[in-house]
C-alpha cells in the first residue's frame, strides 16, 4: 500500500532543523491537495447522483475507522449548524463506536460484522448515501459497511488514497486521491487525512448548494441561534434584499429566524405567499426571488 511506503525524500526528517522540517511537511501537504484535482470528475459524478437521493428524503451516512472516522464525523456534524441540515438525516458507522473518536481502538477496524450490524441498525435503504473513507482502502470494517449498504440499494461513495483499493471496488462511486507515501511512513493523519477532509468538504458543500441551501455565497438555511448568528442573519437579509438593518431584523423576527422566508418578507410578500413560493421551488431562494420579481413586474 502506497500510504505505508517510506518516502526517501523524508528519511532524514528527524535530523533537520525545525524550519526545514516544517517546510518539507508543508510541501508534502500541498502535493496531497494537488492530487484532489484529478479526482474532481469522480467527485462531481458522486454529488450529482447523491443529490437525487437526498431530494427523495435520503440520509448521509459516513463510515470509517481511526483518523478517517474522525474526519468524517467532523464533516457530518457541521452540516446542521452550517446548513440547517436535519440531524436525523446524518448518521455514522464508526469502528469501535463513538468512544473510538477520542481514544484509539485499532483492533476495531478489522471487525466486519460490527459494520454490517451498524448498517442494519440504521436501517440503511435505497435513498441513503453511504460515504466510506480509508487511506489504505483496505480497512475491513469500512469495506463491509459499503458492501452491506450497497446490498440494501444505497448509493455508496468510497474515498481512498491507494490505487486499486478494495474500498474503491466496493463503491458505486470510487474516488481515488493518489497521495502516495507520507512524510512519516504510514502516518495517514498527514496528507492522506488532509485530502480526505478536502474531498468531504467538496462533496458536502456542493450537496448543500445543489439542494438550495446556499444563495449567492450565503448560508441562507443557517439557524440564528445566538447573538453572533442573529447579526449575521440580519446582514444576509439586508444584503439579499437591500433592506435596512432594522427592517431586516423585523423580517427575521416575523419569519422566526428563517432567513429565506425573511428575505421574501422583506421584499414585500405576505408570509403565506412566501412559504408557498419556497415550497413550490423546493426551498430554492433564487427561484423564489426570480418568480417574485417576475410577478411584481
What residues are annotated to the active site? 78, 109
Do the domain assignments include residue 222? no
Contacts of 150 (CB under 8 A, 6+ apart): 130, 156, 170, 171, 172
Q: Which residue, among 41, 40, 63, 43, has the nearest Cα to 51 in the 3D structure?
A: 43
Do the domain assignments include residue 215? no
Do the domain assignments include residue 271? yes
Number of neighbouring beta carbons within 10 Å of residue 206: 18
Q: Characterize the bridge pairing of strands 90-94 and 129-134.
A: unpaired
CATH code for the domain of 86: 3.40.50.10490
Q: Indicate whether 163 and 261 sit together in one domain.
A: no
Q: Indicate whether 53 and 140 sit together in one domain.
A: yes
Q: Say if CB 36 and CB 199 are below 8 A apart.
A: yes
Q: Number of folded domains in the chain?
A: 2
Do the domain assignments include residue 218? no
Enclosing domain of residue 121: 2-210
CA separation for the pair 21, 15 (Å, rounded): 9
| β-pair partners for 92 | 62
Q: Indicate whether 39 and 175 sit together in one domain.
A: yes
Q: Indicate whether 278 and 184 sit together in one domain.
A: no
Total-model pTM: 0.92
Per-residue confidence of the chain (297 residues) as pLDDT tens digits?
A: 778 888 889 989 999 999 999 999 999 999 999 999 999 999 999 999 999 999 999 999 999 999 999 999 999 999 999 999 999 999 999 999 988 888 877 788 899 999 999 999 999 999 999 999 999 999 999 999 999 999 999 999 999 999 999 999 999 999 999 998 888 888 888 899 999 999 999 999 999 999 999 999 999 999 898 999 999 999 999 999 999 989 999 999 999 999 999 999 999 999 999 999 999 999 999 999 998 777 665
Amino acid at each position: 500500500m502506497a500510504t505505508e511506503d517510506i518516502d526517501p525524500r523524508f528519511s532524514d526528517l528527524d535530523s533537520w532543523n525545525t524550519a526545514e522540517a516544517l517546510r518539507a511537511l508543508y510541501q508534502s501537504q500541498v502535493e496531497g491537495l494537488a492530487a484532489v484535482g484529478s479526482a474532481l470528475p469522480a467527485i462531481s459524478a458522486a454529488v450529482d447522483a447523491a443529490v437525487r437521493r437526498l431530494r427523495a428524503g435520503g440520509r448521509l451516512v459516513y463510515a470509517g475507522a481511526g483518523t478517517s472516522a474522525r474526519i468524517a464525523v467532523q464533516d457530518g456534524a457541521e452540516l446542521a449548524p452550517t446548513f440547517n441540515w436535519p440531524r436525523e438525516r446524518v448518521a455514522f458507522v464508526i469502528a469501535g463506536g463513538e468512544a473510538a473518536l477520542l481514544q484509539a481502538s485499532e483492533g476495531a477496524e478489522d471487525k466486519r460484522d460490527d459494520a454490517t450490524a451498524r448498517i442494519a441498525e440504521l436501517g440503511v435503504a435505497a435513498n441513503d448515501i453511504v460515504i466510506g473513507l480509508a487511506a489504505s482502502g483496505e480497512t475491513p470494517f469500512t469495506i463491509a459497511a459499503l458492501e452491506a449498504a450497497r446490498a440494501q440499494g444505497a448509493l455508496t461513495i468510497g474515498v481512498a488514497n491507494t490505487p486499486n483499493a478494495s474500498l474503491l471496488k466496493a463503491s458505486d462511486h470510487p474516488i481515488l486521491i493518489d497521495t502516495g507515501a507520507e512524510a512519516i511512513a504510514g502516518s495517514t493523519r498527514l496528507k492522506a487525512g488532509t485530502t480526505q477532509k478536502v474531498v468531504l468538504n467538496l462533496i458536502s458543500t456542493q450537496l448543500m448548494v445543489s439542494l438550495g441551501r446556499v444563495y449567492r455565497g450565503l448560508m441562507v438555511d443557517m439557524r440564528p441561534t445566538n447573538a453572533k448568528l442573529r447579526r449575521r442573519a440580519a446582514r444576509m437579509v439586508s444584503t439579499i434584499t437591500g433592506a435596512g438593518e432594522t427592517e431586516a431584523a423585523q423580517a427575521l423576527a416575523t419569519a422566526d429566524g428563517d432567513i429565506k422566508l425573511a428575505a421574501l418578507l422583506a421584499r414585500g410578500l405576505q408570509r403565506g405567499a412566501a412559504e408557498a413560493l419556497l415550497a413550490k421551488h423546493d426551498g430554492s431562494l433564487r427561484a423564489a426571488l426570480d418568480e417574485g420579481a417576475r410577478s411584481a413586474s
